[in-house]
Structure 1
């Protein structure tokens, strides 16, 4: 398709005039697809939160950008986007009194960290207001990895994800939709997880009519 990312990658030429090799072209396309899929997961969780916490609808409609950003932060904290993130120790180190040899596989317990009562007040209660009071510290909110994105194992697209989620959530709140009966439980045994039914909504169309839409991340 003219003007599409696929065309841009397929026709891109290096300084010496050569086309990208197939591996590099595939990586560049995946770098577009991966964040799109990731944001779709967060969008479903945002819709789930609005359904389970209907009071958030008016807050998103009327609260402005600050509340939208706080809501996006809380969606990323509350919901199990990933259960953990793995990485290898770059060198021998000492962590919390434990000696760890270089090359050891370490798992960052993302879900546990975000629901630790020593770090979060009422951690199993969805409360966007907690982020209206202050922005989270770098190592407090880690849904997309920890540390600094420039030097550590943290997604460099996190700021873009947050901005898009903060823009999308008020748009969801503005929709006239109903939620049919379905299984909206979220199994923690599935990686990556999502509501069992995805998220099916009836969006109002013409007066007196509704149309069903399945709002879900890819399987």
Structure 2
């Protein structure tokens, strides 16, 4: 039996907060091991890094998510007992509900709504001296997501609803005021969405039958009963909020375009293959999720290491995307690396890994992919702008992180060089779902 390397700190909680995204990655390098043990909030915790560790982490026979996500994160980011906390048949049934609204035709409509909002927003930005891209893009995404999901959203309410979704995500790595702001934001959002679900059930609000709002309102659990009003609202938010959160990736994409003008030139020329590589490299290179958690389902042994039942296990998302064994010069931004990527579900995990059909891989990943590609298309071919001097650093000790300035642009002008929204049928992630 091998002994799992142990971090020498009595408790690593403060170090996680202090170091942020690279915490597991640094220690994996320090101990020259893809597995080591720490204490987190006083609990023994196993940390995994790399492709093999990811394959293990997504073995649903050995791990479960029930109990892995702290209540403080459920009460801000994802809602109590939402889909991200489920396992087994309950998870499969709930995921099927989510996937029922993510057909290629439905998502193509969402892309059309987003494209219309990009055109609208660019016209608005052209009348402003300066634009902070991050909050503006999030409003664009929130507006389009609500239209697509069948959730009525008046224009005067867009800013405050978007802000609440942003605060939920921002609370992930926060303590004190950041946590409480996220908790209050979730309470407001759930109350709002519960009212919409109730109106649908009382037939006071009519929405398309293929919409997420309709599907959540009328979904029946395995016992034949309607999903509770509270849970229907939580899961509808779990569709809209992640779409709004794609604003983090889009802002990083704008940063990449600014820092790598050679990429901008290729994308402006309409290189579709390069667009795919660029989008993936944005998701690999820039920090989004630091790590994910699971609970050991039953005692087992792996490579001579003992995993006891009930032990918390963290998967290094940030570091696995930088594993030098899989990625040449991982600290460099090089979209071309995806020319030869093998499509593994375990070495590129910006939104988690594993398979879609029966595992826990993010159901909205391919939606994210197409949304970022659409955004990059508008940033390179649908508009021109200048980037004034500003603080573009993004601190790794803040989770989630973002360029400190929010990415300011000025002198925005419409370019009108964007073709029709492409079909999603060719998306490789959709082919994996088929």
Superposed CA offset, 1:3-57 (max 9, x none): 97225744333489x9874303321331232222321111011011111111111
Match of 1:12 among 171, 177, 200: 200
Residues 43-82 of structure 1 mapped to structure 2, 5 A cutoff: 43-82=250-289
Q: Which has the higher contact order (CA 8 A, sep 6+)?
A: 2
Secondary structure of the residue aligned to 1:156 is coil
Contact 1:89/1:103 (CA < 8 Å) preserved in 2? yes
Residues 82-121 of structure 1 mapped to structure 2, 5 A cutoff: 82-121=289-328
Question: Unaligned 5+ residue runs, structure 2?
Answer: 1-145, 153-195, 202-217, 415-434
Cα distance change on mapping 1:4 and 1:78 into 2, 3 Å = closer
1:178 matched to which residue of 2?
A: 386
Distance (whole Å) between structure 1 residues aligned to residue 303 and residue 276 of structure 2: 33
Match of 1:168 among 375, 395, 409: 375
1:125 Cα offset (Å) = 0.7
Contact 2:386/2:411 (CA < 8 Å) preserved in 1? yes
Larger helix share, 1 or 2? 2
Distance (whole Å) between structure 2 residues aligned to residue 3 and residue 52 of structure 1: 33
2:338 matches 1:150? no
Distance (whole Å) between structure 1 residues aligned to residue 219 and residue 262 of structure 2: 55
Contact 1:65/1:166 (CA < 8 Å) preserved in 2? no
2:244 matched to which residue of 1?
A: 37
| Structure of larger gyration radius | 2
Distance (whole Å) between structure 2 residues aligned to residue 129 and residue 58 of structure 1: 14
1:158 Cα offset (Å) = 0.7
Contact 2:386/2:409 (CA < 8 Å) preserved in 1? yes
Question: Unaligned 5+ residue runs, structure 1?
Answer: 207-219
Contact 2:197/2:229 (CA < 8 Å) preserved in 1? no
Secondary structure of the residue aligned to 2:392 is coil
Aligned length: 205
Distance (whole Å) between structure 2 residues aligned to residue 3 and residue 63 of structure 1: 27
Distance (whole Å) between structure 1 residues aligned to residue 199 and residue 372 of structure 2: 32
Contact 1:12/1:19 (CA < 8 Å) preserved in 2? no
Give the aligned CA root-mean-square deviation in angstroms: 2.6
Secondary structure of the residue aligned to 2:356 is coil
Distance (whole Å) between structure 1 residues aligned to residue 265 and residue 289 of structure 2: 29
Secondary structure of the residue aligned to 2:151 is helix
TM-score calculated relative to the size of structure 1:
0.82
TM-score calculated relative to the size of structure 2:
0.43
Distance (whole Å) between structure 2 residues aligned to residue 137 and residue 173 of structure 1: 29
Secondary structure of the residue aligned to 2:347 is coil
Distance (whole Å) between structure 1 residues aligned to residue 249 and residue 342 of structure 2: 19
Cα distance change on mapping 1:24 and 1:95 into 2, 3 Å = same
Match of 1:129 among 329, 332, 336: 336
Distance (whole Å) between structure 2 residues aligned to residue 2 and residue 188 of structure 1: 34
Cα distance change on mapping 1:43 and 1:2 into 2, 3 Å = closer
Secondary structure of the residue aligned to 1:176 is strand
1:217 matched to which residue of 2?
A: none
Distance (whole Å) between structure 2 residues aligned to residue 63 and residue 134 of structure 1: 22
